[in-house]
A = this chain, B = another copy of it.
């Protein structure tokens, strides 16, 4: 009986410990790659106050919507946006079917490896690059081309596949929020169907919780097969003032938590944190030239100028990658 009592006592103790851990809103395992700084504390404090039933800031689970930018917030974006790398690689792959590209811009520059030259054509050149790589095929064919690229392409600096260059502390933040009843969404300027190919595996975010830029799609039955075809023309750009619009059209309610890293996220943070009740705005500030990249106000990719200036007055948390994060990428942990 002594043994039985001891076992029972241990069960009770374990249960009590679990309750204490649940009540504290975070345990040692949560946000493990975050340094024990004010940034981590601010996140934990916010989650505590919106999830505690007796708190004046309590938010019902259904309304715990958290939105995350992707480029520079969940995965890296240097030296150029990864989706652009996909498009450039895809042009090289498709070139044999387009002999005319050897003498037409921006393709000719791309095929010579002169990316700067290719992009010198500005928005018009970019639109051509996107059109030939992202439209004129079925949605299944497009997804397959993204999958194949992710499986083979490697980042020039780290030698890692692009979908491994995701931020470990942000993965833990997503997980921590979900554990506390949040529904996590991506709201990115990137292509909605580009991101959906890897978002579930990389971030635990299912396709239906990915919001992004999109192009028209047409439904038709081709040789008896129902098919969705990606078209060019009238794209929706889910960036800047487009982000609150994307949130409204896809999610239909205002988030209580928003995370971004550039001025492209300014309006999303503004819209989110202007709502009534407790709100949280977070900006990932790229301060780590050694482990990642250091850039903000003057960067052509991921420019953070207005957001950096206004963050203190707006009450947005500036996460300092260098000092707030123990590791950057998951593959560092495994070393």
Binding site for B on A (CB under 8 A): 62, 65, 139, 183, 185, 192-193, 196, 200, 206-210, 214, 217-221, 225-226, 228, 234, 241-245, 248-253, 267, 270-271, 274
Contact = CB atoms under 8 A, between A and B. Distances in A.
B208 A253 contact: yes
A84 to B, nearest CB: 22
A85 to B, nearest CB: 22
A185 B65 CA distance: 18
A228 B254 CA distance: 11
B245 A217 contact: yes
Contacts of A220: 241
Contacts of A185: 208
B226 A245 contact: no
B228 A244 contact: yes
Contact of A210 (B209, B210, B244, B252): B252
Given A226-B274, A244-B228, A214 B251 contact: no
Contacts of A207: 251-253
Nearest to A249: B214
Contact of A249 (B217, B225, B248, B270): B217
Interface centre among A139, A217, A219, A244 (most CB of B within 10 A): A219
A130 to B, nearest CB: 17
A207 B65 CA distance: 11
A250 B248 contact: no
As for how many copies of this chain the complex holds, the number is 2
A219 B267 contact: yes
B62 A252 contact: no
A250 B250 contact: yes
B210 A270 contact: no
B192 A252 contact: yes
A228 B252 contact: no
Given A225-B274, A271-B226, A248 B208 contact: no
Contacts of A209: 208
Contact of A217 (B208, B219, B248): B248
B183 A208 contact: yes
Given A225-B274, A228-B244, A267-B219, A249 B192 contact: yes
A228 B217 CA distance: 25
Nearest to A220: B241
B219 A241 contact: yes
A289 B234 CA distance: 45
